[in-house]
Amino acid sequence: METEQTLVLIKPDGVQRGLIGEIVARYERKGLKLVGMKLLKLPLTTAEALYAVHRGKSFYDVLIQFMTSTPIVALAVEGQNAIELVRTLNGETDPRKSQPGSIRGDFSLNVTHNLVHASDSPENARRELGILFAPEELYEYHRADEGILHPTKE
């Protein structure tokens, strides 16, 4: 298993509904480590860079307006297979297709207001983390439970 870093955004609806702690706790309880975290109001240029792959699609303008409307929380999450784990914990983009127990399955209201964004590949994770975090904003440290969660091979 490979240790990866990935970006998670708690979208405006997650912040406004008071779900930051619940969402963060789910990643931490799974054994993922937060290596960066900040509350910010996403600038327009940053949102456009982050969602450039969707430019020209029917939902792009609504997405940009939503993501820049009120504060978000940006998380840099690290762990073995972090990208896949985070996406599983988040659930499907469409909450009607999300499993109960996933973040979106338990709390999401619709496709636009689906609480979280997560990188979908190692390449996008690196690109997106670079948009939201400067290198000095990402921290290396050891969690007390790492020996249990990620035992070294003998």
pLDDT of residue 153: 53
Q: Which domain holds residue 115?
A: 3-143
Residue 54 annotated among the catalytic residues of the structure: no
Residues 6+ apart with CB under 8 A from 10: 19, 20, 23, 24, 72, 73, 75, 115, 116
Q: Which of 54, 117, 142, 150 is catalytic?
A: 117
Separation CA 15–CA 42 (nearest Å): 13
**Tokens found for residue 14:** 């997650």
Number of domains observed in the structure of the chain: 1
pLDDT above 60: residue 141: yes
In a domain, 129, yes or no: yes
For all residues of the chain together, what is the average pLDDT?
Answer: 94
pLDDT tens-digit profile of 55-77? Answer: 999 999 999 999 999 999 999 99
Residue 112 lies in a domain: yes
Tell me, what's the pLDDT at 1?
65
Upper half-sphere CA count for residue 26 (Cβ side, 13 Å): 20
In a domain, 14, yes or no: yes
Q: Do 18 and 73 touch, CB atoms closer than 8 A?
A: no
Write the CATH number for 82: 3.30.70.141
Check if the beta carbon of residue 11 is closer than 8 Å to that of residue 62: no
Would residue 154 count as lying in a domain?
no
In a domain, 114, yes or no: yes
| Cross-strand partners of 118 | 8
Average pLDDT over residues 10-34: 97
